[in-house]
Amino acid sequence: MAYDDKSIKILEGLEAVRKRPGMYIGSTDKRGLHHLVWEIVDNAVDEAINGYGSLIKVTLTKNGSVRVEDEGRGVPCGKHESGKSTPEVIYTVLHAGGKFEEGGYKVSGGLHGVGASVVNALSKKMVVTIARDGGLYEISFKDGGKVDTPLKKIGQTRKTGTTVEFWPDEKIFDTTKFSFSTIEERMRESAFLISNLTIEINDENEDRHSSFHFENGLVSFVEYMNENKTPLHKVIDMEGTKTGIEVHVAMCYTDSYNENILSFVNNVKTIDGGSHEVGFKTALTKAFNEYAKNNNLLKGKTVLEGADTREGLTAIISVNVPEALLQFEGQTKGKLGTPQARPVVESIVYEKLSYYLEENKSVANMIMDKALKSKTAREAARKAREEVRNGKNKSGKDKILNGKLTKAAGKDPKKNELFLVEGDSAGGSAKTGRNRETQAILPLRGKVLNCEKASTNDINGNEELNLIMQTIGAGIGSDCNPEDSNYGKVIIMTDADDDGAHIQILLITFFYRFMRPLIDAGFIYVANPPLYSLETGKSKEYIQTDEELAEKRKLIKGQYKINRFKGLGEMDAEELFETTMDPKNRSLIRVTIEDAMLAEKRVSTLMGDKVEPRKEWINENVDFTLEDDFRR
Ligand code: 1YM
């Protein structure tokens, strides 16, 4: 499709973007900052998908900018009907772009595809260099999208392509420091989704480089996700197209008990799933039940539940939906709404998978065996839980009543908070200092079970986790429902050291694996105790980070005393409440699943058998999966 200089529609000014950046990029924190990169890279990726250029370079430069280069056709450099150059319109007018037309696969729903002009609006400087039709052209902008130097020819070249370099505006963003690893993860993902595309990332500040290229696309993606696991067979690769919707699925079972499904629509991740995921799951359940029936593997009328067929499964679902059919739902627009995607994915996966199972009986039987075991374990666990709930199993009930839990007096679950506290001594202080009306304390002794390879049965057999599960009362696995939770907030409170971080990660893994709906619903938090107290004459204040301490030190004149808290236990009850538990002062970090793959990957790096990656990870990333919106 030729680009039509006239098809650009002028809708709104960039000023609106600067006034309400959140409307366009979601937020002005780290996540919003990185949206700028995705926005520009997505344009380069679109060009590659259309068949122009197969190399994209992303550079974090020494002067704080990000530069994205592609080898596509180059943005058109003609004159627009307004009299301005086409690049000027593309980078200064919201929603400008002939790409948002029928027939293509470009994503314009949700937060993606808001356009290069939004990036320009939120940058203090932007330079666009275009190689096209033998010429090299440049246009630059400053102060949120004002033209600095209009489009001009600066030379000749035989190459074609577009380079966009931008400097995010400090006046807009909380931070303008880009994260190499965040960009790396996302670029790796794009390279998995688009076979034969090469993406290079360079960090000039730290001399780091990565290059991603995967000939086997989704198959490589699944292998990558299973890197720290034991796969049970070769990756199953399925593809098909119906009514204009392209479906590509790769899947593989591992010996773990966790399901790990990622889905994408037009190469953008659908973090909350949607109709394509539903279609996939339905197909899976149907194909395995059919196989079981045909091979006499299920006795009587019982059937496999969906969750049974997903235990240990790693899968990527990638669909391409024509622009005209795209529909996104949910607050963050991370859920595919398009109803047509469901039957299309379902029929393609059902057909291909049924065929695969018949052709690969030994693999099929192995997976069936796993699913049947899951079914048995699930039924046993459910029965045990029901008994405890109904009070039939006295020992289970007593365990809670006589246990270590200090309950809250208030009866409103939404207002009540459960603190999971590392160690008995901190537990004691927390118990004394707490707000009795709303705060409950559950001290944890020692290390929590590593859930990476735990089954529902193991969890039921583990006293510590069992206690947490029973105390929260929301159920586990497919039975977990936030509405049944006895607490509106579950707060993990550990020492601010390596051990504490490890306990945090183990608990988050537990919640991630077995009570994920609680994370999705935003019920899980990490307390953020201060690292130091600082006394100057009469006043005493608490300090959260080393950076903050350094800042404070510079400002103080005269005498002061610094006390470093080695652990929660060093604070007395009052101090602990005041700094870490009191809703008026504390800063909680809400645990989110912004990125299931990252979480999964990190969790398996952390919890897998290899020690070195774990140490490295803890040192570098301890709170990476945690959103620090709540930090002061
Ligand atoms: C580093 C970022 O933007 N490349 C790029 C963008 C475009 C084209 C080629 C292009 C598209 C078409 C025709 C067409 C365009 N993007 C837009 C908009 N790289 C980068 N490479 N010729 C060239 O779609 O028909 C308009 S052109 F508006 F979406 F930004």
Per residue, the 3-state secondary structure of 196-236, as one string, reads: CCEEEEEECCCCEEEEEECCCHHHHHHHHHCCCCCECCCCE
Q: How confident is the model at residue 555 (pLDDT cuts 50, 70, 90)?
A: confident
Residues 6+ apart with CB under 8 A from 518: 472, 474, 480, 482, 485, 490, 511, 524
Task: Take atom 27 of ligand 1 and give the residue whose Cα is closest.
Answer: 75
Q: Is the minimum distance from the CB of 112 to ligand 1 under 6 angstroms?
A: no
Calculate how far, in angstroms, residue 161's C-alpha sits from the geometric centre of ligand 1. Answer: 9
pLDDT confidence of residue 215:
92
Q: Which amino acid type is present at position 256?
A: S
- For CA atoms 24, 29, 30, 33, the dihedral sign is positive
Q: Is the minimum distance from the CB of 97 to ligand 1 under 6 angstroms?
A: yes
pLDDT confidence of residue 438:
96
- E strands along 379-508, which residues? 417-422, 439-444, 489-493
Q: How confident is the model at residue 74 (pLDDT cuts 50, 70, 90)?
A: very high
With H, G, I as helix, E, B as strand and everything else as coil, classify residue 409.
coil
Q: Is the minimum distance from the CB of 67 to ligand 1 under 6 angstroms?
A: no
d(CA 189, CA 187): 5
Calculate how far, in angstroms, residue 74's C-alpha sits from the geometric centre of ligand 1. Answer: 7
Spacing of C-alpha 451 from chain mean position: 20
> Which of 1-10, 75-84, 272-281, 452-461 holds the top average pLDDT?
272-281
Asked if the model's pLDDT at residue 111 lies above 60, the reply is no
Calculate how far, in angstroms, residue 580's C-alpha sits from the geometric centre of ligand 1. Answer: 50
Q: How confident is the model at residue 632 (pLDDT cuts 50, 70, 90)?
A: very low
d(CA 591, CA 580): 16
Model pLDDT for residues 539-550, shown as the tens digit of each residue: 888 888 888 888
Q: Which has more confidence, 354 or 622?
A: 354
- For residue 248, the surrounding DSSP H or E stretch is strand 245-253
Residues 6+ apart with CB under 8 A from 288: 304, 309, 357, 367, 368, 371
- Mean pLDDT value across residues 81-90: 89
pLDDT confidence of residue 105:
47
Task: Take atom 14 of ligand 1 and give the residue whose Cα is closest.
Answer: 3
Q: How confident is the model at residue 569 (pLDDT cuts 50, 70, 90)?
A: confident
pLDDT confidence of residue 150:
96
d(CA 198, CA 190): 9
What's phi and psi for 468, nearest 5 deg?
-60, -45
Model pLDDT for residues 365-410, shown as the tens digit of each residue: 999 999 988 888 777 777 766 666 665 554 544 454 446 889 999 9
d(CA 48, CA 54): 6
Asked if the model's pLDDT at residue 597 lies above 70, the reply is no
Q: Which atom of ligand 1 is nearest to the CA of 106?
A: 29
Q: Is the minimum distance from the CB of 287 to ligand 1 under 6 angstroms?
A: no
Residues comprising the chain, all counted: 632
Q: Which range has the worst mean pLDDT, 10-24, 380-394, 449-463, 498-512?
A: 380-394
Q: How confident is the model at residue 603 (pLDDT cuts 50, 70, 90)?
A: low
d(CA 178, CA 208): 13
How many Cβ atoms from other residues are within 10 Å of residue 460's Cβ? 20
Dig out the tokens for 81 from the structure: 């009907």
Q: How confident is the model at residue 114 (pLDDT cuts 50, 70, 90)?
A: low
Asked if the model's pLDDT at residue 596 lies above 50, the reply is no
Residue 80, Cβ density class (10 Å: 0-12 exposed, 13-18 middle, ≥19 buried)? buried
Q: How confident is the model at residue 10 (pLDDT cuts 50, 70, 90)?
A: very low
- For CA atoms 591, 597, 598, 603, the dihedral sign is positive
Task: Take atom 15 of ligand 1 and give the residue whose Cα is closest.
Answer: 75
Tell me if 252 sits within 8 A of 235, measured CB to CB. yes
Q: Which atom of ligand 1 is nearest to the CA of 99?
A: 24
Q: How confident is the model at residue 300 (pLDDT cuts 50, 70, 90)?
A: low
Q: Which range has the worst mean pLDDT, 22-26, 115-119, 203-207?
A: 22-26
pLDDT confidence of residue 392:
53
Q: How confident is the model at residue 98 (pLDDT cuts 50, 70, 90)?
A: very low
Q: Is the minimum distance from the CB of 41 to ligand 1 under 6 angstroms?
A: no
Q: Is the minimum distance from the CB of 90 to ligand 1 under 6 angstroms?
A: yes
pLDDT confidence of residue 437:
95
Q: Is the minimum distance from the CB of 229 to ligand 1 under 6 angstroms?
A: no
Antiparallel, parallel or unpaired: β 524-526 and 489-493: parallel
pLDDT confidence of residue 605:
64
Q: How confident is the model at residue 594 (pLDDT cuts 50, 70, 90)?
A: low
How does DSSP classify residue 521? T
Dig out the tokens for 407 from the structure: 């309950």
Residue 373, Cβ density class (10 Å: 0-12 exposed, 13-18 middle, ≥19 buried)? middle
Our CA dihedral for 118, 119, 120, 126, rounded to 10 degrees, sits at -170
How many Cβ atoms from other residues are within 10 Å of residue 328's Cβ? 22
Model pLDDT for residues 512-542, shown as the tens digit of each residue: 878 888 988 889 998 988 888 888 877 888 8
Task: Report the mean per-residue pLDDT for the chain.
Answer: 84
With H, G, I as helix, E, B as strand and everything else as coil, classify residue 237.
strand
- Mean pLDDT value across residues 217-244: 94
Which residue's entry shows tokens 């200090």?
Answer: 406
Asked if the model's pLDDT at residue 2 lies above 50, the reply is no
Model pLDDT for residues 240-281, shown as the tens digit of each residue: 999 999 999 999 999 888 888 999 999 888 988 999 999 999
Q: Is the minimum distance from the CB of 46 to ligand 1 under 6 angstroms?
A: no
- String of DSSP letters for 388-408: HHTT--HHHHHHHHTSS-B--
Which residue's entry shows tokens 């399925």?
Answer: 238
Which residues lie across from 155 on neighbouring strands? 136
d(CA 20, CA 503): 39
Q: Which amino acid type is present at position 539?
A: S
Q: How confident is the model at residue 3 (pLDDT cuts 50, 70, 90)?
A: very low
Model pLDDT for residues 177-198, shown as the tens digit of each residue: 999 989 999 999 999 999 989 9
Q: Which atom of ligand 1 is nearest to the CA of 4?
A: 25
Tell me if 470 sits within 8 A of 389, measured CB to CB. no
**Which of 7, 43, 52 best tests ligand 1's pocket when mutated (most atoms within 8 Å of CB)?**
43
Asked if the model's pLDDT at residue 428 lies above 60, the reply is yes
User: For the chain, what percent of residues have pLDDT higher than 70?
Assistant: 83
Calculate how far, in angstroms, residue 85's C-alpha sits from the geometric centre of ligand 1. Answer: 14
d(CA 149, CA 146): 9
Q: Is the minimum distance from the CB of 110 to ligand 1 under 6 angstroms?
A: no
Calculate how far, in angstroms, residue 42's C-alpha sits from the geometric centre of ligand 1. Answer: 10
pLDDT confidence of residue 6:
40
Task: Take atom 24 of ligand 1 and give the residue whose Cα is closest.
Answer: 99
Q: Is the minimum distance from the CB of 130 to ligand 1 under 6 angstroms?
A: no
Calculate how far, in angstroms, residue 193's C-alpha sits from the geometric centre of ligand 1. Answer: 20
pLDDT confidence of residue 107:
44
pLDDT confidence of residue 523:
94
pLDDT confidence of residue 11:
40
- For CA atoms 376, 379, 382, 386, the dihedral sign is negative
Task: Take atom 25 of ligand 1 and give the residue whose Cα is closest.
Answer: 3
User: For the chain, what percent of residues have pLDDT higher than 90?
Assistant: 50
pLDDT confidence of residue 75:
94
Q: Which atom of ligand 1 is nearest to the CA of 68?
A: 1
Distances (CA, A) of 157 to 53, 54, 132, 495: 16, 19, 8, 59
What's phi and psi for 150, nearest 5 deg?
-65, 170
pLDDT confidence of residue 71:
97
Q: Is the minimum distance from the CB of 72 to ligand 1 under 6 angstroms?
A: yes
Q: Is the minimum distance from the CB of 98 to ligand 1 under 6 angstroms?
A: yes
Closest CA to 137 of 118, 99, 163: 163
Give the residue numbers annotated as catalytic, written as ranges: 422, 495, 497, 499
pTM recorded for the entire structure: 0.72
Q: How confident is the model at residue 614 (pLDDT cuts 50, 70, 90)?
A: low
Task: Take atom 10 of ligand 1 and give the residue whose Cα is closest.
Answer: 75
Tell me if 16 sits within 8 A of 234, measured CB to CB. no
Dig out the tokens for 150 from the structure: 């209009």
Q: Which has more confidence, 191 or 424?
A: 191
Calculate how far, in angstroms, residue 105's C-alpha sits from the geometric centre of ligand 1. Answer: 14
Which residue's entry shows tokens 């859920």?
Answer: 335
